[in-house]
Amino acid sequence: MNNMKFIAIIPARYASTRFPGKPLAMLCGTTVIQRVYNQVSKAVDNVLVATDDERILNHVKSFGGKAVMTSTEHRSGTDRCWEAYNLNQGKEDIIINVQGDEPFIQPEQIKAIMQCFDDKNTQIATLVKPFNKDGSFSILENPNNVKVVIDSDMNALYFSRSVIPCLRGIDKSIWPSHHQYYTHLGMYAYRAETLNKITQLKQSQLEIAESLEQLRWLENGLRINVGITNQSSIGIDTPEDLAKAEQFLSSKT
């Protein structure tokens, strides 16, 4: 890994459907995007925000961060990352895609995904978290908690909003205690040539069915290596999430 060059790119749109202007929302006196940037900078020297709005661009530059303007037409953060990588001259081997609404992302989690590339065969990497065996089935089955099945070589077999695998003949209420389930953390890293390839793939049937773009990659024969983290993260999707994050930070301080 010491011979590889990494860049962390943080896609940050202004026009979020559920929370417009989310990157610039204040979280205990600091914007969400600055908190994300600061956390990522603890693990990666080269950090870049990819945005489609001059307000975000100017704000990132105001606190000393790096940012580039990208198209407003991108379908996903993955596509935005590829454009930003090329606008930044694209010299790094590995691109880490960190969501711009994850102000509690931990440096250890970023390092865990970087370590997946110690294996020269890794094309794409992501993170999963073991689901608590004492956890409730109602939390596990929440479709916003994406479940992952992995093989013996730590590659993802499938991602689903449904609970997988199904434990036949066992009451659902005790599934978590009878099997080690894994939930997905939406951070990815890609080799540059792999990121180029996936941005050219057409949407797939499984992707459309589950609304999970990583299924497009699996359907096209790409491997997704999985790193494990035991740390949780709090994503900011709505103003209500922001309020919960405020409470969390206040309780810690």
Measured CA to CA in angstroms, residue 229 lies from 109, 138, 226 at distances of: 6, 22, 10
The 10s digit of each residue's pLDDT in 5-23 is 999 999 999 987 788 999 9
Measured CA to CA in angstroms, residue 120 lies from 117, 162, 195 at distances of: 6, 32, 16
Angle between helical axes of 54-62 and 32-41 (0-180°, round to 10): 50
Tokens describing residue 244:
């919960």
- Residue 210: CB atoms within 10 A of its CB come to 17
The answer to whether domain 106-232 has CATH 2.40.50.220 is no
Q: Does residue 53 or residue 250 have the better pLDDT? A: 53
The 10s digit of each residue's pLDDT in 103-150 is 999 999 999 999 999 999 999 999 999 999 999 999 999 998 999 999
The 10s digit of each residue's pLDDT in 62-101 is 999 999 999 988 888 899 999 999 999 989 999 999 999 9
Name beta bridge partners: 126: 188, 226
Question: Would you list the domain boundaries of the chain?
Answer: 1-102, 106-232
Average pLDDT, the chain: 94
The 10s digit of each residue's pLDDT in 23-54 is 999 999 999 999 999 999 999 999 999 999 99
pTM reported for the whole predicted model: 0.93
- Phi first, then psi, for residue 95 (nearest 5°) are -110, 125
Fold of the 1-102 domain = Spore Coat Polysaccharide Biosynthesis Protein SpsA; Chain A (3.90.550)
